[in-house]
Amino acid sequence: MAGRGVRQAVGWWLRGFARPAALTFSFALPAAAAQVMGNCLGAETTAATGDSFVDVLFFPDTAMPCKTFHSGEGCTRKNCKKIHDQGSSLLTLLGFLKGARKTMDICVFTITCDEIAEAVLEAFGRGVKVRVITDDGQAKGKGSDIQKFIDAGIPVRDDNAYTYMHHKFCVIDKKTLLNGSFNWSRQAVVGNAENLVIHKDGPVVRRFEEHFEHLWKKYER
């Protein structure tokens, strides 16, 4: 009863005050944040002018691509379970890597997919300047392609820390960004639900390139 009496007394006391008007808040975005938000919101408009472009790839694919078929030789195997069409997300990703002309800055946690590694090595072999940042633990893991890169002469740096270097992005020719949840592994290609967002030009790409340079210096040993 004592508790009920207290609640009633408080209620009577509060009734003596007018109900406050609805509260409103206003704030201004920092200039940099406003610019980035404006570019993102306007991506659909600016895409038509070539100023920026945004697309997204989703995984998993139904299967890995058939190397024989996509080499141009044609696949003659009966009941081949590999992909023969051009519509897979992995083939689209490989197309971006094979289209690199000058630079390829890779910052990815796990790199174990041989098909992706081969595209990187092919780009390096035709003169593209490739740099790789990865997680030190994953670099030493089973199936890692990092040693292939090192043996080929590609400069590789890792975090050498107890924490993870968990990024998964790549900047091609300083103007195309591939970024998302997608690790460069077969499990990510045909097993996991993953995404890979593609940006061309614009402030988002520049910010990732700047961050790559920051990490490249940070992990120098």
Residues acting as catalytic residues: 166, 168, 173
Helix (H/G/I), strand (E/B), else coil: 87:
coil
Quickly list DSSP for 201-217: SHHHHHHHHHHHHHHHH
Per the document, the length of the chain is 221
d(CA 182, CA 197): 9
Both tokens of residue 208? 């990732």
Nearest to 148 by CA among 117, 170, 186: 117
Cis, bond preceding 60 (omega within 30 deg of 0): yes
**Burial category of 134 from C-beta neighbours within 10 Å (exposed 0-12, middle 13-18, buried 19 and up):** buried
Element (H, E) at 8: helix 2-15
3-state class of 187 per DSSP?
Answer: helix
**Distance (Å, rounded) from C-alpha 195 to C-alpha 89?**
10
